[in-house]
C-alpha cells in the first residue's frame, strides 16, 4: 500500500537496491570524457525526478513555469535548446501516452531519442537493468526515461548509471510526471494562469480519486503531491482495491460511498482496474460497475460542476461510460495535451540543471 516517505519503496529493497539518499542525484559523464568513464561519485545532478515526494512547491512552480514557457516558445527556437543531446527511453511496460509524449517532448527540444523496449532488445535475452543502463550510457545517452514493472527500479538505474533518470512509472509505486500534468490540468480549470504554487494554492479543493487505488502509481503520486499544495484527496473504491491504511497519508481520506464522494468533488479522477496487477484477486465486475462506474446520471446529480480526469487508458463501459468520457466535463484529452509541456520541462531540467557536490 501507499508508501509515505521519499525513500525507495520496499520492492527496490527486494531487488537489493540501496536507495539513493533523498537529495542525491547524479550527472552524466562530462562532455569529452570517454563514454565508459564512471563519473565522479561526489557530483550529482538535480535533474532526476524519481518521486513527487522530493518536489517542493518551489520546484513544482519552476516545472509549471518552464512548461508554460517551452510550450509558448517558437518551435524552431525551442528545438535549439537541446539540439543533438541524447536521451534514451527505456520501457519495460507498454505505454501510449507517456512514451509518446516524452518522445515528442524531447524531440521538440531538439534532442535525439532512442526507444528501447523489453520486446525488441537484449532485455528479452535476460540482460539486467543495470547492464542495459550502462550500455545506453556507453552509447552516449545523457538521461534515461524509465518505465519498469518493479517499484524502485529508477533508483537502481540512477545509482548504477549516474545519469539523470525520469521515472515514467515504476510498478505500483509512482508516476510523477502524470501527477504534474494532472496538476497543470486542475490549475487550468480552478486557477487559470497560475504557475506559482504554494502550500495553500489548492486549499478548499477536493479531489476524488475512484477505482483501483491499490495498484495505481498515478493515485499514489497524486495523493502524495496534492496535499502538499493544500488539496484534500478523497479516495473511493471497494476494500480489496482500497485498503483502509491508505487514509494514513496526511491530507488523504476514504469515502466508500461513491455518490457521497462525488458530492464533495471539484475534481473527479477515475482509474481503470489494473487487470495485469490483480495477481489472482477475483472481482465481480458487475457489482463493481453497479457501485463505482461513473455515469452521466451520477455526474449530473452529484458533481455537475466538477471536471473529470483519467490518466488513461480508459476502459469504456467499466470505470466510466463512453458518454461521460466524451462529455462536456471531461478533460481527459487536455491531460494528454498537457503531458507534452510538462515532460518538455522535465527533460530540459534533466539535461541542464547544474550538478552539485554531495559528500558520500
Residues 222-261 binding ligand MLT (CB under 6 A) are: none
- Which position among 78, 99, 137, 272 is part of the footprint of ligand MLT (CB under 6 A)? 272
Q: If residue 143 lies in a helix (H) or strand (E), which one and from where to where?
A: strand 143-148
Rounded Cα gap, residues 177 and 235, in angstroms:
20
Residue 264 contacts ligand MLT per CB under 6 A: no
Phi, psi of 30 (to 5 degrees): -65, 145
The three cell numbers locating residue 158: 540512477
| Angle separating helix axes 217-225 and 176-190, nearest 10 degrees | 60
Rounded Cα gap, residues 314 and 83, in angstroms:
35
**Distance of closest approach, residue 175 Cβ to ligand MLT, in angstroms:** 5
Residue ranges of alpha helices (H) inside the chain are 10-14, 57-72, 75-78, 97-108, 129-138, 153-161, 176-190, 217-225, 258-262, 285-292, 296-302, 322-325, 332-352
**Distance of closest approach, residue 253 Cβ to ligand MLT, in angstroms:** 22
Residues 6-65 binding ligand MLT (CB under 6 A) are: none
Site mask, ligand MLT, residues 274-293, x = CB under 6 A? Answer: x-------------------
Q: Single out the residue of 258, 335, 334, 333 nearest to residue 299, CA to CA.
A: 258
Residues 155-194 binding ligand MLT (CB under 6 A) are: 169, 175, 178
- Which position among 70, 109, 218, 241 is part of the footprint of ligand MLT (CB under 6 A)? 218
Residue closest to ligand MLT when measured from CB atoms: 311
- Which position among 141, 311, 325, 336 is part of the footprint of ligand MLT (CB under 6 A)? 311
Residue 148 contacts ligand MLT per CB under 6 A: no
**Distance of closest approach, residue 210 Cβ to ligand MLT, in angstroms:** 13
Nearer to ligand MLT, 134 or 271 (CB): 271
Nearer to ligand MLT, 53 or 352 (CB): 53
**Distance of closest approach, residue 315 Cβ to ligand MLT, in angstroms:** 9
Rounded Cα gap, residues 170 and 77, in angstroms:
33
Instruction: List residues near ligand MLT by CB under 6 A.
Output: 169, 175, 178, 217-218, 272, 274, 311-312
Amino acid at each position: 500500500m501507499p508508501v509515505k516517505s521519499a525513500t525507495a519503496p520496499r520492492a527496490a529493497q527486494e531487488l537489493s537496491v540501496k536507495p539513493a539518499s533523498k537529495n542525491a542525484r547524479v550527472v552524466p559523464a562530462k562532455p569529452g570524457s570517454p563514454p565508459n568513464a564512471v563519473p565522479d561519485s561526489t557530483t550529482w545532478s538535480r535533474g532526476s525526478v524519481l518521486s513527487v515526494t522530493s518536489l517542493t512547491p518551489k520546484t513544482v512552480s519552476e516545472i509549471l513555469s518552464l512548461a508554460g514557457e517551452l510550450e509558448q516558445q517558437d518551435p524552431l527556437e525551442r528545438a535549439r535548446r537541446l539540439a543533438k543531446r541524447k536521451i534514451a527511453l527505456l520501457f519495460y511496460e507498454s505505454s501510449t501516452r507517456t512514451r509518446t509524449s516524452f518522445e515528442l517532448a524531447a524531440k521538440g527540444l531538439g534532442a535525439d531519442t532512442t526507444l528501447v523496449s523489453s520486446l525488441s532488445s537484449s532485455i528479452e535475452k535476460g540482460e539486467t537493468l543495470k547492464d542495459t543502463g550502462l550500455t545506453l550510457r556507453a552509447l552516449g545517452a545523457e538521461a534515461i526515461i524509465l518505465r519498469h514493472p518493479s517499484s524502485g527500479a529508477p533508483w537502481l538505474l540512477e545509482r548504477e548509471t549516474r545519469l539523470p533518470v525520469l521515472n515514467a512509472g515504476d510498478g505500483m509505486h509512482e508516476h510523477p510526471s502524470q501527477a504534474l500534468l494532472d496538476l497543470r490540468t486542475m490549475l487550468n480549470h480552478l486557477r487559470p494562469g497560475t504557475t506559482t504554487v504554494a502550500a495553500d494554492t489548492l486549499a478548499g479543493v477536493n479531489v476524488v480519486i475512484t477505482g483501483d487505488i491499490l495498484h495505481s502509481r498515478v493515485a499514489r503520486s497524486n495523493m502524495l503531491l496534492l496535499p502538499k499544495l493544500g488539496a484534500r484527496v478523497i479516495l473511493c473504491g471497494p476494500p480489496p482495491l482500497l485498503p483502509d491504511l491508505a487514509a494514513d497519508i496526511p491530507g488523504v481520506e476514504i469515502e466508500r460511498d461513491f455518490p457521497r464522494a462525488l458530492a464533495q468533488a471539484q475534481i473527479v479522477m477515475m482509474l481503470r482496474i489494473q487487470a495485469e496487477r490483480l495477481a489472482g484477486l477475483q472481482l465481480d465486475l458487475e457489482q463493481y460497475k453497479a457501485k463505482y462506474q461513473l455515469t452521466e446520471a451520477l455526474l449530473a446529480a452529484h458533481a455537475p460542476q466538477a471536471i473529470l480526469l483519467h490518466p488513461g487508458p480508459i476502459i469504456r463501459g467499466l470505470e466510466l461510460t463512453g458518454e461521460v468520457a466524451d462529455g462536456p466535463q471531461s478533460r481527459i484529452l487536455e491531460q494528454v495535451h498537457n503531458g507534452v509541456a510538462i515532460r518538455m520541462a522535465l527533460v530540459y531540467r534533466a539535461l541542464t540543471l547544474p550538478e552539485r557536490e554531495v559528500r558520500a
